[in-house]
Amino acid sequence: MSLGATDSPSVPPAVPEVPRKSFFARLAGVLFAPAETFEDIARKPDVLAPIALLILIGIASTVIMVPRMDFETMIRTQMQQSGRQMKDAEMDRAVRFGKAFATTTAYASPVLALAFYVIIAGVFLLAFRLFGGEGNFTQALSVTLYSWVPLELFTIILALVAFSHGSIDPATVATVVKSNPAFLVDFTEQRVLFALLSSFDVFVIWTLILLTFGFSAVSKLSKRVSAAIVFSLWIVSVFVKVGFAAIGAARMKG
């Protein structure tokens, strides 16, 4: 029997921990290497840095865009098209109130967006868990925030375009940047078609693709199943959007 032999089992070498990508590396990664980047986000999710960035972009774009939004003309036109019989003084009061409400809501939108991100993350997490996926809320929220990068790029471009315009019609703001086919139709005459076409936006589709990568990494479901879930929820949202547009169009026709 050899004295140098030992009966103790060999210990496998420790697997080195993969270092987490930096925040800026993740921002670039979701655009150019989404599969790898979302795997990193799923392992070590973060929410504070992306939330801060989204709020900063939201505040900056709001400060630029809101003063250029012609809420008064939009509200007055909608009230006139509704067929309501109002005296000039009553119309002016209603327009002033509507303008004040719309302006206040617009300035509060960067903060209100936080609630929107939370709701979206919760809906996606619930949907993926119903299909047997894994993941927790922190992962879902982190994936949602990083997936929103294309839409934040859209917001930046929109603000730059708005900066060069004297005024913008809030009703057709979706077509200021020609990233969807809704600019081909008249909003006043074809509200339902406008709502439908504006949903097929390049930046929206880009975001949906990133959500597919992200929730696939979190849930451990295949990208095919993940895409089916993400795009099915988007289709539901499009139906809701078009439905509200149809209701608005019906009211305008009296």
Query: What torsion, rounded to 10 degrees, do the Cα atoms 57, 58, 61, 64 define?
Result: -130
Q: What backbone phi and psi angles, to 5 degrees, belong to 69? A: -80, 120
Name the more confident of 110 and 123.
Answer: 123
Task: Assign 141 a pLDDT band (cuts: 50, 70, 90).
Answer: very high
Percent of the chain with pLDDT over 90: 62
**How much is the average pLDDT of 92-105?**
85
Length of the chain: 254
Average pLDDT over residues 10-17: 57
Average pLDDT of 166-195?
90
Q: Which two tokens stand for residue 30?
A: 């979701």
Indicate the pTM of the whole model: 0.87
Dist CA 143 CA 66 (whole Å) = 29
pLDDT band at 106 (very low <50, low <70, confident <90, very high): confident
Higher pLDDT, 222 or 83: 222
Q: SS3 of 82, please?
A: coil
Name the band, by pLDDT with cuts 50, 70 and 90, for residue 180: very high
Distance CA 127, CA 129 (A): 6
**Average pLDDT, integer, range 114-121:** 95
Instruction: Flag whether pLDDT at 12 surpasses 80.
Output: no
